[in-house]
Amino acid sequence: MSDTPADVIGFYSTQLGVDEAAAESVLASALGRGGSFAELYFEHKRSGSLSFEDQQVKSTQASLSQGVGIRVVEGDAIGYAYTEDLSLDAMRRAAATAAQIAHGTTETNPVDVTAESYPADRYAIASPSTSTPLADKVELLRRADDAARAYHSSIARVDASMVDEEKRVLIVRSDGRMVADYQPLLRFNVSCLSELEGERRNARWGGGGRMGMAYFENHSPESLAEEAARQAVLQQEAREAPAGTFPVVLAAGDSGILLHEAVGHGLEADFNRKETSNYSNRIGQSVASELVTVIDDATLNLSRGSVNIDDEGEVTGHNLLIENGQLAAYMQDRISSDHFGVAPSGNGRRQSFRHSPMPRMTNTYMTAGDDEPEDLIRRVDYGIYCKAFSGGQVNITNGDFVFSVTEGYLIENGQISAPIRDVNLIGNGPDVLSKVTGVGHDLEMSDGRWTCGKSGQSVPVGVGIPTVLVSGITVGGTQMRPGAGMSA
């Protein structure tokens, strides 16, 4: 069984000597120069990975990372320090370093820390993969390898890996709140190379979540491997993608990466507090087609982007960002929620104790509409159908965003036709969202394979979307096709 918050608090106290009294002492040092708020983020993370190539285990890895990150807030400014040494002396030294952001000498009242309970039930799992015998995991990798090779004779290489971690976090704040969480994370990856008459094509696939071995009950290693193999083989027939602006149909699921880039980052409150986002000062305004409703939801069961509490100790939630095209709210962390005078939305996240938190997405998705997915394709004379992606990026300030399609098809006369080679798409956030002219009833969340990077920090996230028709996005292919029409 996974740990309850009370188990995690007990673990810190008995295994690492970090208890309420120690935390109070470190907080006193953190506030030694009069900072207005301080927070301790303790992290104990065990992770493991197994990689399989040339039909055998290539390497096994394990790591232990533990430490505390100490943040002192003074107005909008923060002092930050961390230490991997959890002795009281080392923690107090780090606290004194972080305290330098404040310039006062005022004695601060002692903090009285109290462990608080909350419903931590988004990923209570029966069997953490971190305590599964390695031989069982090797068997899963071997099954994936066999299935990919059996899928098609052109599959010349298969590389598979499994990585997992269990993270115990304890957050103690100068308002006295002490909360803890146990956060499991699992990911299974398969990469295939198809080699046919000297032409090589590759594809990757995978999934996971905040799950234990139960993940494989609904996602067999064979199905993940066959999907990677299918995409690699498909690429053997792919044509050059067209160049220009065309209607695009986004398949349900992973296409949610478009939302993550087109609006997600731009709605993180740090950029809006600083007015450097193209969504700054636009709450209540129309920023998308009326068909578009976007939610960030950290409470989805077992999802890669879910967290019971954020990394500032706030209970997370289901946050409406865009409602029928109107901008409803930003994603907040502590500093930005103070700035805007709103409640924290539970979006303060960080990569590890070595990093300070900032507003981040969790699981971001568009709600279902009324259209039949097939009808959306039928509405396009000539365009692109996008199904699998390798990543995306956004310029927060001007709103330009890109995403790279690794499985895409031409749509000709309302029908999906030939597969196309890897292609990048570029658009501008509000412009593309205003061109959403159809939303399917088939909302689907992606499997757990996405990691989001911001200011050098990576956090696991989820994305989701129903089938969506966008009347025009610029497609960065190589095939010139002047005068292509659209009917969307």
Partner 1 sequence: MATTTLSTEPLELAARLLELAEAAGADQADALAVSSTNASTTVRKQQVEKVSESTARSVGLRVIINGRQATVSTSDVSDAALAETVETALELARVSEPDPYAGLADPGEQARNTPQLALFDEGIPEVDGEHRLGQALACEEAALGADTRIVNSGGATFSTNFSSFALVDTNGFSGAYADTSASMWVEVMAQEEDGQLRNAGWSTSERSLHRLDQPEDVGREAAARALRQLGASKASTCEVPVVWEPRMAAGLAGIVAGAASGEALYRRATFLADRQQTELAAPLLTIVDDATLGNRLGSRPFDGEGVVTRRNPLVERGVFQGFLFDSYNARRLDAASTGSAWRSVGGLPQIGSGNLSIEAGETSPEEIIAEVDDGLYLTTLMGFGINYTTGDFSRGAAGIWIRNGELAEPVQEINVSGNLLEMFQRIDAVGNDAQWFGATSAPTLRMSRMTVSGV
Q: With contact defined as beta carbons under 8 Å apart, do 332 and 51 qualify? A: no
**Residue 421: what are its φ and ψ, rounded to 5°?**
-70, 170
Q: In the complex, what is the shortest distance from the CB of residue 276 to partner 1, in angstroms, rounded to a whole number?
A: 6
Taking CB under 8 A as the criterion, the residue among 117, 301, 324, 478 binding partner 1 is 478
**Does position 395 bind partner 1 by CB under 8 A?**
yes
Stretch that binds partner 1, among 90-98, 172-180, 215-223, 360-368 (CB under 8 A): 90-98
Taking CB under 8 A as the criterion, the residue among 10, 34, 317, 391 binding partner 1 is 391
User: Which letter does DSSP use for residue 263 in this model?
Assistant: I
Q: Determine which helix (DSSP H) or strand (DSSP E) holds 149, and give its type and residue range.
A: helix 134-151
For residue 176, how far is the Cα from the chain centroid? 30
**Does position 220 bind partner 1 by CB under 8 A?**
no
**Does position 57 bind partner 1 by CB under 8 A?**
yes
Q: In the complex, what is the shortest distance from the CB of residue 119 to partner 1, in angstroms, rounded to a whole number?
A: 32
Q: In the complex, what is the shortest distance from the CB of residue 108 to partner 1, in angstroms, rounded to a whole number?
A: 19
**Does position 4 bind partner 1 by CB under 8 A?**
no
Taking the C-alpha atoms of residue 338 and residue 474, their distance in angstroms, rounded to an integer, is 39
Q: Determine which helix (DSSP H) or strand (DSSP E) holds 334, and give its type and residue range.
A: helix 334-340
Nearer to partner 1, 124 or 243 (CB): 243
**Does position 138 bind partner 1 by CB under 8 A?**
yes
DSSP assignment of 443-467: -EEPPS-EEEEETTEEEEEEEEE--
The CB-side HSE value for 151 (13 A sphere, CA atoms) comes to: 27
Query: Does residue 89 sit in helix, strand or coil?
Result: helix
Q: Cα dist. 420→257, 259, 385, 417, 474 in Å? A: 19, 23, 10, 9, 15
* CA neighbor of 474 nearest in space, from 417, 412, 401: 401
Q: Is 217 exposed, middle or buried (0-12, 13-18, 19+ CB in 10 A)?
A: exposed
What is the length of the chain?
488
Nearer to partner 1, 220 or 393 (CB): 393
Taking CB under 8 A as the criterion, the residue among 152, 200, 318, 378 binding partner 1 is 200
Ranges within 302-361 binding partner 1 (CB under 8 A) = 354, 356
Ranges within 357-376 binding partner 1 (CB under 8 A) = none
Residue 372's CB is within 10 A of a number of other CB atoms, namely 13
**Does position 77 bind partner 1 by CB under 8 A?**
yes
**Does position 244 bind partner 1 by CB under 8 A?**
yes
**Does position 146 bind partner 1 by CB under 8 A?**
no
Q: In the complex, what is the shortest distance from the CB of residue 141 to partner 1, in angstroms, rounded to a whole number?
A: 11
Query: Does residue 244 sit in helix, strand or coil?
Result: strand
Nearer to partner 1, 74 or 310 (CB): 74
Query: Does residue 30 sit in helix, strand or coil?
Result: helix
Stretch that binds partner 1, among 53-61, 105-113, 119-127, 318-326 (CB under 8 A): 53-61
Query: Does residue 380 sit in helix, strand or coil?
Result: coil
Q: In the complex, what is the shortest distance from the CB of residue 352 to partner 1, in angstroms, rounded to a whole number?
A: 10
CB within 8 A of 448, min separation 6: which ones? 186, 187, 207, 208, 209, 210, 211, 303, 304, 305, 460, 462
**Does position 149 bind partner 1 by CB under 8 A?**
no
Ranges within 408-437 binding partner 1 (CB under 8 A) = 421-428
Q: Provide the β-strand partners of residue 30.
A: none
What are the structure tokens assigned to 240, written together?
């050059």
Ranges within 6-45 binding partner 1 (CB under 8 A) = none
**Does position 388 bind partner 1 by CB under 8 A?**
no
Q: In the complex, what is the shortest distance from the CB of residue 301 to partner 1, in angstroms, rounded to a whole number?
A: 30
**Does position 153 bind partner 1 by CB under 8 A?**
no
DSSP assignment of 179-191: EEEEEEEEEEEEE
Stretch that binds partner 1, among 107-115, 116-124, 368-376, 469-477 (CB under 8 A): 469-477
Nearer to partner 1, 240 or 374 (CB): 240
**Does position 274 bind partner 1 by CB under 8 A?**
yes
Count of residues that interact with partner 1, criterion CB under 8 A: 78
Nearer to partner 1, 124 or 234 (CB): 234
**Does position 56 bind partner 1 by CB under 8 A?**
yes
Taking CB under 8 A as the criterion, the residue among 179, 193, 300, 459 binding partner 1 is 193
